[in-house]
Amino acid sequence: MDRAEAEARLLDAAEALFYERGIQAVGMDQVRAASGVSLKRLYQLYPSKSELVLACLERRDRRWRARLAEYAQSRPDGVERVLAVYDWLYEWFSEPDFRGCAFINSFGELGAVDPAVADAVRAHKGAFHDYMAGLVAAAGHSGQTVGTLVLLAEGAMTTAAISGSPEAARQARLGAAQLLANR
């Protein structure tokens, strides 16, 4: 097995286990067993669990942002693209394995004790804020609304995870539509 295949198998296994069970509840031996990669190879590629967690977060960040952008870009320019974010959230929240935002979950588990994880989470959330700012500006609205729109999305992520229902995305979309209509 070459390096790229070993990395992919490790990241696939680790990401699934961390998201389903929590980072602290999963040991490196469980990642090894689920990936089929030897423990020696695992530690060659990721000398610490923190490095494995960071690699999972970085890969998830790229995938999450690409999926969101692809979805939003399929909508008409303007306000519809901003509101498409909440439609996409609804679809994500409806996935059978949805367990909340992996970044919020990771911050909750490790943010206070692992500065690198906290930085990765902040970078992801900052990139989401910047993406929303771009959509809002393209829609011809004031940048003052961006923080509120992001808060609606972030609140929907947490509410959907706790409630087990995707409806928080629809409520957030209604709030976003009202906010944009009043500006």
Domain count of the fold of the chain: 2
User: What CATH number corresponds to the domain at position 99?
Assistant: 1.10.357.10
**Residue 60 pLDDT:** 97
**Residue 50 pLDDT:** 95
Cβ–Cβ under 8 Å, residues 57 and 121: yes
* 67 plus 143 within the same structural domain: yes
What DSSP state is assigned to residue 143?
G
**Residue 143 pLDDT:** 86
pLDDT in tens, 106-138: 999 999 999 999 999 999 999 999 999 999 999
> What is the domain extent for residue 8?
1-47
Residues in the chain: 183
Angle 102-110/115-138 helices, nearest 10 degrees? 150
User: What CATH number corresponds to the domain at position 33?
Assistant: 1.10.10.60
* 81 plus 17 within the same structural domain: no
pLDDT at 42 over 70: yes
Give 151's contacts (C-beta < 8 A, 6+ positions apart): none
pLDDT in tens, 10-34: 999 999 999 999 999 999 999 999 9
In a domain, 54, yes or no: no
In a domain, 166, yes or no: yes
pTM: predicted TM-score of the whole model, two decimal places: 0.94
User: CA-CA distance, 169 to 171, in Å (whole number)?
Assistant: 5
* 94 plus 171 within the same structural domain: yes
User: CA-CA distance, 154 to 31, in Å (whole number)?
Assistant: 29
Contacts 24+ apart (CB under 8 A), 10-14: 10/35, 10/37, 10/42, 10/45, 10/46, 10/52, 11/52, 11/55, 11/56, 11/59, 14/52, 14/53, 14/55, 14/56
User: CA-CA distance, 127 to 83, in Å (whole number)?
Assistant: 18
3-state secondary structure of 93: helix
Band (152; pLDDT cuts 50, 70, 90): very high
User: CA-CA distance, 49 to 23, in Å (whole number)?
Assistant: 9
pLDDT at 182 over 90: no
* 97 plus 32 within the same structural domain: no
Q: Which of 120-129, 138-147, 159-168 has the lowest mean pLDDT?
A: 138-147
* Diameter over CA atoms, the chain: 59
* 71 plus 34 within the same structural domain: no
3-state secondary structure of 7: helix
User: CA-CA distance, 127 to 60, in Å (whole number)?
Assistant: 13
Cβ–Cβ under 8 Å, residues 142 and 126: no
In a domain, 53, yes or no: no
pLDDT at 61 over 70: yes
